Amino acid sequence: MSVLRLTCSPRGADSESYRLSQSLIDGLVRSGAECARHVVEIDANRLTHVDAEYARALGSPTAPDGEPRGSLRQSDRLIQSLADADHVVIATPMHNYTVPSALKAWIDHVVRVRSTFSVTREGKIGVLADRPVLVAVSSGGLFSGPDARQPDFLTPYLKAALATIGLKNLVFFSVEGTAMGGQALEAARARARADIATYFATCRRQPAALSAQGSSHASS
Ligand SMILES: Cc1cc2nc3c(=O)[nH]c(=O)nc-3n(C[C@H](O)[C@H](O)[C@H](O)COP(=O)(O)O)c2cc1C
């Protein structure tokens, strides 16, 4: 049993999104989730982009024969670590209204035809078993609520991309407005801590919530 944490900020463990993701992992530990004893760490900034072998393999009508070559090997490993995880925690900043390129690189490796989804006449069907995906987002400005003055392509994109492979149980937590600093940032952090406490309190009252279907945004 394990938790997979994907760190997507170029600032790694010094980042706001990583700190927020640590509060989520601490919450899992306190909630007694067995899987939280073993956290598998992936730094998305160390991933290479998909290469020509990968693009050829995915672009052809049938799966390639023989041993996987090029970035197909990295893709296999990333898919296996995702399939093995009971919970997924994604720590990500917002970059230009959406996911940073490091997170997009991971998505390109794990959202893979004939491996994690199949194409049918009805559309793309996910292959992975659903499980909770807790997403810790940090942004310089606000992207949710009435005072947001920028579009949010991050949360709808991540929901659509991961739903493609069968992961539909996403819960978003956020520290927004980090560029404001000072008291505004402290207040944003306090709201995120409160959202996390509410989430785990709900999970304690209704343990099924930890594996419930659907996606939501926990931040206020
Ligand atoms: C390349 C780049 C693009 C960014 N684009 C946005 C953006 O579109 N909206 C926003 O609110 N903040 C944006 N920011 C600011 C970061 O989201 C913000 O500094 C965040 O707190 C960083 O989180 P981290 O510490 O987890 O990396 C951007 C930062 C960088 C480096």
Pocket of ligand 1 contains residue 11 by CB under 6 Å: yes
Average pLDDT of the chain, as a whole number: 93
| Whole-number pLDDT of residue 74 | 96
Mean pLDDT of 76-92: 97
Sign of CA dihedral 208, 209, 210, 212: positive
Assigned token pair, 123: 């559309």
Distance 15 CA to ligand 1 centre (A): 10
Number of domains in the chain: 1
CA–CA dist 177, 143 (Å, integer): 9
148-173 per-position pLDDT tens digit: 999 999 999 999 999 999 999 999 99
Q: Could you tell me if 167 and 86 are in contact, meaning their C-beta atoms sit under 8 angstroms apart?
A: no
| Whole-number pLDDT of residue 220 | 41
CA–CA dist 113, 128 (Å, integer): 12
Its domain, for residue 189, covers 3-217
In three-state form (DSSP H/G/I as H, E/B as E, the rest C), the secondary structure along 26-91 is HHHHHCCCHHHHCEEEEEHHHCCCCCHHHHHHHHCCCCCCCCCCCHHHHHHHHHHHHHHCCEEEEE
Distance 183 CA to ligand 1 centre (A): 19
Pocket of ligand 1 contains residue 93 by CB under 6 Å: yes
CATH code: domain of residue 46:
3.40.50.360
Distance 163 CA to ligand 1 centre (A): 25
Cβ-based neighbours of 115, under 8 Å, separated by 6 or more? 75, 79, 127
Helix (H, G, I), strand (E, B) or coil at 199: helix
- Ligand 1 atom nearest the C-alpha of 98 is 8
The owner of tokens 């940090």 is: 138
Predicted confidence band of residue 32 (pLDDT cuts 50, 70, 90): confident
110-151 per-position pLDDT tens digit: 999 999 999 999 999 999 999 999 999 999 999 999 999 999
Mean pLDDT of 176-193: 98
Predicted confidence band of residue 210 (pLDDT cuts 50, 70, 90): low
Distance 7 CA to ligand 1 centre (A): 14
